[in-house]
Amino acid sequence: MARLTINGKSHEVNVSPTTPLLWAIREQVGLTGTKYGCGIAQCGSCTVHVDGAAVRSCILPVSAAEGKQITTIEGLASGGTLHKVQKAWLDNEVPQCGYCQAGMIMAVAALLKAKPKPTDADIDAGITNICRCGTFQQVREAIHAAAKA
Ligand code: FES
Ligand code: FES
């Protein structure tokens, strides 16, 4: 058993302490916006925020997330208002199949918090998520648009 705070709500999850956070979020709490891609911290599709930092939840044990504030894509908008990254994504028509996009958006939201006006080099260094549909150019444009918002 573990107690997790996800999107401001407390949840009791019935998993072992070593279970990856991703599975607690998806299978126990039922928030399925966060996706499983590689399971080895390479693709970023499972990215969530833990105490405001982007983490790859497929390799983070539940025990390391207890007592922390976890935010998933479902909790990124606030009070019905989209986060500026979500808005830029819509305006720039970024998604193709969509599978990688929740993780991509969470990674970008954390990047913009740390670096509000990222350069292309900052984006290359900070956003290492993989998109099998190849939306990288649209992602870059949307990041710059969100940075201006
Ligand atoms: S599923 Fe976590 S990084 Fe790929
Ligand atoms: S939009 Fe399809 S994998 Fe990125």
46-63 pLDDT, tens digit per residue, is 999 999 999 999 999 999
Question: Angle, to 10 degrees, between the axis of helix 136-148 and the axis of helix 101-114?
Answer: 40
The Å distance, Cα 109 to ligand 1 centre, comes to 17
For the chain, what is the mean pLDDT? 97
Cβ–ligand 2 contact at 86 (below 6 Å): no
Q: What is the mean pLDDT of residues 84-110?
A: 98
pLDDT score at 79: 87
31-45 pLDDT, tens digit per residue, is 999 999 999 999 999
CA angle 127, 3, 69 (to 5 degrees): 35
CA distance 47 to 36: 9
Looking at the chain, how many residues does it have?
149
Answer yes or no: is pLDDT of 144 > 90: yes
* pTM of the complete model: 0.97
The Å distance, Cα 131 to ligand 2 centre, comes to 5
Confidence at 28, pLDDT banded by 50, 70, 90: very high
Ligand 1: which residues within 6 Å by Cβ? 36-39, 41-46, 56, 58
CA distance 17 to 97: 33
- Burial label for 58, CB within 10 Å (0-12, 13-18, 19+), is buried
Answer yes or no: is pLDDT of 101 > 90: yes
The Å distance, Cα 145 to ligand 1 centre, comes to 26
Answer yes or no: is pLDDT of 137 > 90: yes
CA distance 41 to 47: 9
The Å distance, Cα 144 to ligand 1 centre, comes to 25
Answer yes or no: is pLDDT of 23 > 90: yes
Q: What share of the chain is helix, strand, coil (3-state, %, to 5)?
A: 40, 15, 45
Cβ–ligand 2 contact at 52 (below 6 Å): no
